[in-house]
Amino acid sequence: MKKVLVVEDSIYITRAIKIILEKEGISVLSTSDGSKVVEIVRNKGIDLVILDLMMPGVSGKDVFKMLKADQDTKNVPVLILSARIDYYLNDEELKTCDKFMTKPFDNKELVQEVKKLIG
């Protein structure tokens, strides 16, 4: 079973994504603590990270940098899911993510993009 890690500070958005993806047979783990993401991806066999940019503590941008700088996690696809398209458009490093989607998101489009990224 494929595993997705949702990195999001809103429990409502996390819960919605979990329900949507689990209906498709995808296992969903989650955290709102950006400092734990690399460790979780390494230890839990994560196939995709869905990442919010605006989070307290360690920002999504910093999480993205940490994932891509780590030898064990640099090839794990990252789908950025954020209401802040301006952050994405104004940052060349963030543009290297595998997919960017805006909030609010379309459930069917999210499933379609997740399935593309996890194979």
Task: Using alpha carbons, list the distances in angstroms from residue 102 to 40, 46, 97.
Answer: 24, 22, 14
How far is Cα 108 from Cα 113, in angstroms, rounded to an integer?
9
pLDDT tens per residue across span 35-94: 999 999 999 999 999 999 999 899 999 999 999 999 999 999 999 999 988 877 788 888
Structural domains in the chain, CATH included, are: 3-113 (3.40.50.2300)
Give the pLDDT score at 4: 98
Give the pLDDT score at 84: 86
Give the pLDDT score at 91: 85
Give the pLDDT score at 89: 79
Look up the pTM and report it.
0.96
Give the pLDDT score at 90: 84
Q: DSSP letters along the chain, please?
A: --EEEEE-S-HHHHHHHHHHHHTTT-EEEEES-GGGHHHHHHHHT-SEEEE-S--SSS-HHHHHHHHHHSTTTTTS-EEEEES-HHHHHT-TTGGGSSEEEESS--HHHHHHHHHHHH-
